[in-house]
Amino acid sequence: MGSADDDIAITPVDRAIERLRAIYRGWTRDTSVAQMRSDWDLAFAGCSVPVRREPVSAGGVDGEWLVPSDAPRDKAVLYFHGGGFRIGSIASHRDLAARIANASGCQVLSINYRLAPEHRFPAALEDALIAYQYLRDQGLHPADIAFAGDSAGGNLVLCTMLAARDRGLPLPAAGALMSPWTDLTASGASYQSRAEVDPIHQRAMILALAKNYLGKDGDVSNPLASPLYADLSALPPLLVQVGDRETVRDDATELAARAKAAGVDVALQVWDGMIHVFQMFPEIPQAREAVASLAAFLRNHLHIGHQRAPQ
């Protein structure tokens, strides 16, 4: 029988890790992609904060507005979910996007971009650009739009900015990235140094996801797939958050260093003891702190005056 001390020793991060492992344990080589997506959506279903949900077709891309009660209608955050370009959806990331909306006091448009292997690179990027164009077509100025995303969604934040810049399009006000996946070559030293403390993401898995996204002949160093290797100049201000236990830690820290060297205004936050996209788990105190910090960054760059208590 476990003692009270055993119970105290189980941290919120431990519980989050067990939630993740419970999902992965149910998957085998024979588990279909459709089943994986369904399992992931079910595991993270729900919404813990009071926002209004409005389905929308964002230029033909399936989307959902998450709107706090008194959010300005002329400002928006465009949210890209994570999941390695293979899983994840509006449903699985609804709670995280809604907490960002609630904490920032800004409406969030979350989209279901096309996923691989059915739709390989650059399908997801094309959908992200369409959604950005949709917001501008609704009358929103680029200075009143920010991007946010986690993991593969953080990749899309950067690549959508880069593609827009290279096409001569106006850029959004800012970008907020949580555990961004920026290097599909998986060459960061943290793949070795954090391998034992990262409970889920190992290099072989990351490389398999990259191949799934790009196809067997895809170029993992293409700057619109691996933005770590892009010319990062002229990007808007960025906030980069990452957990110190992540094998993909260097994807974030090296990105921040290279962006800063290119003259970009970058804020890097490395959270001790935290796992990949720990912000997904509101029961983790640091997740609430991180979302509050991210929301303050968004409010600052979108010039939203009021401040809300973090959920």
- The residues carrying an active-site annotation are 151
Of 211, 206, 208, nearest in space to 188 by CA:
206
Q: Which residues contact 111 (CB under 8 A, 6 or more apart)?
A: 58, 61, 62, 63, 64, 78, 79, 80, 90, 127, 128, 131
Distance CA 223, CA 237 (A): 19
Q: Token digits for 226?
A: 């691996």
Of 3, 8, 19, nearest in space to 199 by CA:
19
Q: Give Cα separations from 29 to 32, 38, 201, 256 (angstroms).
A: 8, 16, 17, 36
Distance CA 147, CA 132 (A): 9
Distance CA 299, CA 109 (A): 16
Distance CA 79, CA 148 (A): 5
Q: How many residues does the chain have?
A: 311
What three-state secondary structure class fits 264?
Answer: coil
